[in-house]
Amino acid sequence: MADDRTHEPGPTSGNGVASARTANSLIDRIRRIDTVDALPSRYRLQVRAGLLDETLKLANYSAVTHLIIAAALVGFFWHSASQLYLLGVLTIITVVIAATIHTNWLYRRTYGEAVSEVGVSRGVRVAVGLALVLGLAWATMPVILFAPGTSDERLIVVAIAAGLISDAYVVGPLLSVSYLFVIPIIVGSFVGLARCGEPIAVSIALLLVVYSIFVALSVARMSRLSRERILDRVRVQDQSETIGLLLNEFEENTSDWLWETNEAGRFQHVSHRVAEALGCPIEAMQQASFESLLRTHSRLRVEADQTDEVLECLRSARPFHELLAEIDTPTGARWLLLSGKPFYDQRGTFAGFRGVGSDVTQRREAEAHIAYLATRDALTGLSNRAMFHEIASEACAAADDAEGNPVSLLYLDLDGFKGVNDRTGHGTGDALLQQVAGRLRALIAPKGQAFRLGGDEFAILLPGPESAAETLAEAVIAAVRKPYIIDDVRVEIGVSVGIAYAPRDAHNPEDLLRKADLALYSAKEAGKGRWHRFDLTLERRAHRWRELDTAMRAGLANGEMELHYQPLVNLQDGQVVGCEALLRWTWPGHGPVSPVEMIPIAESTGFVIEIGRWALRKACAEALSWPTHMRVAVNISSSHFRLPDFSGEVAATLAESGLAPERLEIEITESIFLANTLHVRDNLRALRALGVRIALDDFGTGYSSLSYLTQFSVDKIKIDRAFVRDLSSRPECLSVIKAIMVIARDLGIDVTVEGVETEQQADLLRARSCNTAQGFLYSAARPSHEVRGLIDRIPEAVRKARHALRDVA
């Protein structure tokens, strides 16, 4: 037999790889036969699980049958075929059968009734693999045994092959498993017939073709029917669950109910919902008429009650829709929303009413609560801003009368409330506001009235002389200042008060509140925890703010603003390594305006964002002419930095100016981090990824600067001038700087010290390995055209100063 075989040359490694890829591709295509992607996503997993389950149900029986056939095959051909081959086939089939039984047991044990994507996918993959291995093992049988066998042996081979092909029906629900098992056997049968070379083999091959096509089509149809049957079952189960859920939800939660009366107006159908709504036994209601029920239980009519309209429609047999009826019940008043329509018998005679009712008591209570909230603050129970304007309007009108009934407005803002909220949470903050409101009520009763205008702002309207308002302000400050105990936590806050009077200061609520707000701002500015009355100087200052705001906007548009640059000097070699851009504005006709006055105004109006954009563009453009090792630092306000597209603005400015990103340094303060918004983090990440440096300004003067160094990545910290001013006379300032340097060095952060004015200060800082310094020792901020001169002059001046200091020493 072996001598008759024709040996082909072995494939190259490249062809072997191609063949393997082709085989894998073919297997993948066959596996995709079972795809359920066309089904709705909620059904796919259950359908695949059903197909796998049906395939596995007969898997153990089929496996035992294969083992018996394999053993019989060995017995039939033991003396006429290669015993090594027979034992090999038996071993492979035994291993596959054992693996099949174990996998089936493991799948049932691991996943059971719990359908999971992982379990089903793994089960299908294992089933496909085992089917392919088993099919390939059986495919060798006709190839090896048919040609050399006797007539009886060939008959046995044909019978076993036909029986194995028919086994496709057992695994038919998963069509890919069926095909991957059967196709190798069919191919092996054709190869065995071809090796025989006898005329009868052609006839058998033709019959095998017909038989194979029949089996393939039958199995495909059976698989499709199984899929449709399982899908129908899944759909029915899904719909049943949905309907059941909806019915349960309706029964449990709805307040609607159906009702029906006969021609006499007596109830024909009464649901338990009606009896529950009216607080009557259902047996009693079945004997009553709808009209008498409404008349018996009707209350004293209110404007919204439409019971009379319902009764009129019942008497005149007219339909009605969503009419409100208030009913007295043993459990209290209930509001019913009723709709009804007359119906007639076949002769057209009036036969009664059918309708639907709803218990809308909760909705009516909610509407009443909303009406209450329209005038009351829900948290504190005080009157709200809308009520304030209404009552203040009446008070101002009364103050303008000839009789003269003056009224004072005390505008209150809590000091330190935000810190309590941040530290202890909003629950404690809400409880604190409620206790503050209680103390205000106790102080002002019975003459005054307190309001919560929003947040931690309150107002008190107090009729009477101005002295009474000032006395009350003192009492309010003393009362609010006392400690609070909330959930065993001691909390302390303060309050600032601004006072305005009507009719002396204002004649309407808006003006009165505005002037009290100016007085409040003055009290806050003076140190908080105090009161201040309105005077004309406050209004003049407010007028100045408005003037400056308008003039600043015009000044920026007209090119009146410019940037001056203060050098940043390397403390070790005295070289200028960069400059900080500082805003300067000379108001035509008025002279220079200090940034200390400008920036708060710009911050309060939001104009600081426009200033920041202009400064960023101008600083980048002017720094382009400096030496390439120098950086330019630009201060950016927290409101500007929190914008979601700020990093995009910086990138566009750098691209427009041509300045390298690593030469730009954005200076921010820790106030940016207070909100800790997603935009702040995104901007920080984007700017650092771009190469722009981030500097934390005024470091050491905030509440939690150290924590920000662990939460946010910065390249530099700037030690505030407050630590440098008393460096020589206060050793603790030097200790703080040393501690900051240790932290910065460990975190890899540069340090710049602000406010250096003497060489002694510079020498002390240099000894502590501070990186850079700025201050009047080197130069004040100078116009852009003087930067070149500063670069050349400062290093020489630093060298001379050091020599002089050493000579003195």
Least confident of 81-95, 169-183, 403-417: 169-183
Residues β-bridged to residue 256: 358
For the record, the structure tokens of 564 come out as: 């001056």
Residue bearing the bigger pLDDT, 229 or 391:
391
Q: In angstroms, rounded to a whole number, what is the distance separating the alpha carbons of residues 684 and 665?
A: 12
Most confident of 57-66, 83-92, 221-230: 83-92
Q: What is the pLDDT of residues 317-336, one digit of tens each?
A: 899 988 888 877 777 777 88
* DSSP code of residue 672: G
pLDDT of residue 16: 46
- For 355, the enclosing helix (H) or strand (E) is strand 350-359
pLDDT of residue 254: 59
- For 600, the enclosing helix (H) or strand (E) is helix 595-605
Most confident of 179-183, 342-346, 508-512: 508-512
In the three-class reduction of DSSP (H, G, I as helix; E, B as strand; rest coil), residue 484 is classed as strand
CATH number, domain 557-808: 3.20.20.450
Q: Which CATH superfamily is domain 256-367 in?
A: PAS domain (3.30.450.20)
* DSSP code of residue 629: T
For the record, the structure tokens of 680 come out as: 């702040």
pLDDT of residue 631: 96
- Evaluate if residue 245 carries a pLDDT over 50: yes
435 close to 487: Cβ distance less than 8 angstroms: no
pLDDT of residue 111: 60
- Evaluate if residue 449 carries a pLDDT over 90: yes
Position 11 confidence tier, pLDDT thresholds 50, 70, 90: very low
pLDDT of residue 240: 66
Write the CB contacts of 790 (distance below 8 Å, at least 6 apart in sequence). 567, 576, 778, 779, 782
HEC readout, 737-767: HHHHHHHHHHHCCEEEECCCCCHHHHHHHHH
Residues β-bridged to residue 593: 585
Residue bearing the bigger pLDDT, 241 or 453:
453
Q: What is the mean pLDDT of residues 691-708?
A: 76
Residue bearing the bigger pLDDT, 677 or 638:
638
Residues β-bridged to residue 452: 458
**Where are the chain's structural domains?**
2-237, 256-367, 380-534, 557-808
pLDDT of residue 97: 86
Percent of the chain clearing pLDDT 70 (strictly above): 87
For the record, the structure tokens of 213 come out as: 């096509």
Least confident of 50-59, 354-363, 528-537, 557-566: 50-59
Residue bearing the bigger pLDDT, 39 or 198:
198
Residue bearing the bigger pLDDT, 710 or 440:
440
pLDDT of residue 301: 52
CA geometry: angle 67, 68, 71, nearest 5 deg? 85
CATH number for domain 380-534, candidates 2.60.120.10, 3.40.109.10, 3.20.20.330, 3.30.70.270: 3.30.70.270
pLDDT of residue 13: 43
Percent of the chain clearing pLDDT 90 (strictly above): 30
723 close to 733: Cβ distance less than 8 angstroms: yes
- Evaluate if residue 619 carries a pLDDT over 80: yes
Strands 591-593 and 631-635: unpaired
Write the CB contacts of 561 (distance below 8 Å, at least 6 apart in sequence). 555, 583, 584, 585, 611, 614
pLDDT of residue 241: 67
Residue bearing the bigger pLDDT, 561 or 605:
561
* DSSP code of residue 530: S
CA geometry: angle 702, 706, 711, nearest 5 deg? 110
Least confident of 23-37, 352-366, 582-596: 23-37
Q: In angstroms, rounded to a whole number, what is the distance separating the alpha carbons of residues 4 and 195?
A: 10
Q: What is the pLDDT of residues 463-500, one digit of tens each?
A: 988 889 999 999 999 999 999 999 888 999 999 999 99
pLDDT of residue 181: 80
pLDDT of residue 780: 93
- Evaluate if residue 462 carries a pLDDT over 80: yes
Residue bearing the bigger pLDDT, 158 or 114:
158
- Evaluate if residue 787 carries a pLDDT over 90: yes
pTM of the model: 0.48
- For 491, the enclosing helix (H) or strand (E) is strand 489-491
pLDDT of residue 419: 83
pLDDT of residue 621: 95
Write the CB contacts of 385 (distance below 8 Å, at least 6 apart in sequence). 451, 453, 454
578 close to 630: Cβ distance less than 8 angstroms: yes
- Evaluate if residue 618 carries a pLDDT over 90: yes
Q: What is the pLDDT of residues 645-680, one digit of tens each?
A: 999 999 999 999 999 999 999 999 877 776 566 788
pLDDT of residue 797: 86
Q: What is the mean pLDDT of residues 593-607?
A: 88
pLDDT of residue 722: 82
114-146 core/surface letters (b: 16 or more CB in 10 A; e: else): eeeeebbebbbebbbbbbbbbbbbbbbbbbbbb
Sign of the torsion angle spanned by Cα atoms 60, 61, 66, 69: positive
pLDDT of residue 298: 47
Residue bearing the bigger pLDDT, 410 or 111:
410
pLDDT of residue 19: 46
Q: What is the mean pLDDT of residues 247-255?
A: 51
DSSP string, 37-54: TTS-HHHHHHHHHHHHHH
Strands 576-587 and 782-783: unpaired
Q: In angstroms, rounded to a whole number, what is the distance separating the alpha carbons of residues 645 and 659?
A: 20
For the record, the structure tokens of 298 come out as: 């009707």
Least confident of 292-296, 342-346, 484-488, 757-761: 292-296
pLDDT of residue 432: 95
Residue with tokens 């919560």: 452
Positions of E strands within 588-683: 591-593, 631-635, 664-668
- For 189, the enclosing helix (H) or strand (E) is helix 175-196
Q: Burial-class residue 628 by CB neighbours within 10 Å (0-12, 13-18, 19+).
A: exposed
Strands 494-502 and 449-454: unpaired
Write the CB contacts of 266 (distance below 8 Å, at least 6 apart in sequence). 287, 288, 289, 290
- Evaluate if residue 624 carries a pLDDT over 90: yes
- Evaluate if residue 26 carries a pLDDT over 60: no
Average pLDDT score, the chain: 82
Write the CB contacts of 763 (distance below 8 Å, at least 6 apart in sequence). 802, 805
Most confident of 221-225, 442-446, 633-637, 708-712: 633-637
Q: What is the mean pLDDT of residues 82-102?
A: 87
- Cα distances (angstroms) measured from residue 526 to each of 132, 516, 530: 88, 15, 8
Q: What is the mean pLDDT of residues 53-81?
A: 82
Sign of the torsion angle spanned by Cα atoms 675, 676, 681, 684: positive
pLDDT of residue 474: 94
- Evaluate if residue 9 carries a pLDDT over 50: no
- Evaluate if residue 719 carries a pLDDT over 50: yes
- Evaluate if residue 360 carries a pLDDT over 70: yes
- For 514, the enclosing helix (H) or strand (E) is helix 509-525
pLDDT of residue 4: 40
- Cα distances (angstroms) measured from residue 215 to each of 57, 218, 571, 746: 21, 5, 91, 77
Residue bearing the bigger pLDDT, 536 or 494:
494
- Tell me, what amino acid is at 51? L
